[in-house]
Amino acid sequence: MTSLQEDTIIRKLGPGERIPYDLLLLADPSIVAMSSYLSLAEIYVMEQDQQVIGTYVLLANDPDELEIKNIAVTPAYQGKGFGKILLQDAAQRARAKGFKRISIGTGNSSIAQLYLYQRQGFEITTVKKDYFMTHYQEPIYENGIQCKHLVMLVRKLN
Ligand code: COA
């Protein structure tokens, strides 16, 4: 269950509100890739004392599946359980909207993210081979591993 302190809320960003690009870019370094779906998606922000400390983006892939496109927590707030709460919040909202599944993609080199998502009930379904080699101009390295493949994970909602 999502449990938040009283001074912390998660809410959908309204039209015309400032988009937290700095945070979104932590999750996806390509502004080109992001701009292809942001206008079709819903952006959620986690705020503490009215300051944005986390975000996630939801995009409907099909009538049954909602994808978390970006999820990020401000670096100073990482490792305190907020990422886990954002994932749980996204799943609750997807369920309430009637979706059967929620999905998320990450790189083969994103070890902490693969750990976190699987701990939160997501299972690897597909691997898009060489996705980051063909869709991103600059090579990406994390944990000393080249980020080449996009790993898709899905959690069933019931
Ligand atoms: N290495 C290993 N484990 C880690 C970790 C790290 N760097 N960071 C978090 N974890 C573990 C925690 O120990 C915790 O495990 P537990 O439940 O067994 O105790 C779990 O992951 C959840 O941690 P949490 O504190 O909720 O995560 P977070 O608030 O740091 O948010 C991210 C996770 C990924 C959203 C955040 O680190 C982030 O914004 N990263 C940069 C953007 C990004 O990579 N987005 C995802 C793109 S696919």
SS (H, E, C) the chain: CCCCCCCEEEEECCCCCCCCHHHHHHHCCCHHHHHCCHHHCEEEEEEECCEEEEEEEEEEEECCEEEEEEEEECHHHCCCCHHHHHHHHHHHHHHHCCCCEEEEEEECCCHHHHHHHHHCCCEEEEEECCHHHHHCCCCCEECCEECCCEEEEEEECC
Q: How many CB atoms lie within 10 A of CB 124?
A: 13
Residue 128, CA atoms < 13 Å, CB-side half-sphere: 12
Is the minimum distance from the CB of 74 to ligand 1 under 6 angstroms? no
Question: How far does residue 158's CA lie from ligand 1's centre (Å)?
Answer: 25
Indicate if ligand 1 lies below 6 Å from the C-beta of 116: yes
Closest residue by CA, ligand 1 atom 29: 83
Per-residue pLDDT of the chain (158 residues; tens, 9 = 90+): 456 777 899 999 999 999 999 999 999 888 888 989 999 999 999 999 989 999 999 999 899 999 999 999 999 999 999 999 999 999 999 999 999 999 999 999 999 999 999 999 999 999 999 999 999 889 999 999 999 999 999 999 98
CA–centroid distance, residue 98 to ligand 1 (Å): 27
- Domain of 19, in residue numbers: 2-156
Are the beta carbons of 102 and 121 closer than 8 angstroms? Answer: no
Q: Do residues 135 and 92 touch, judged by C-beta distance below 8 A?
A: no
Whether the CB of 109 sits within 6 Å of ligand 1: no
Domain count, the chain: 1
CATH number at residue 25: 3.40.630.30
pTM of the predicted structure, to 2 decimals: 0.94
Ligand 1, atom 19, residue with closest C-alpha: 81
Alpha carbon of 114 to ligand 1 centroid (Å): 9
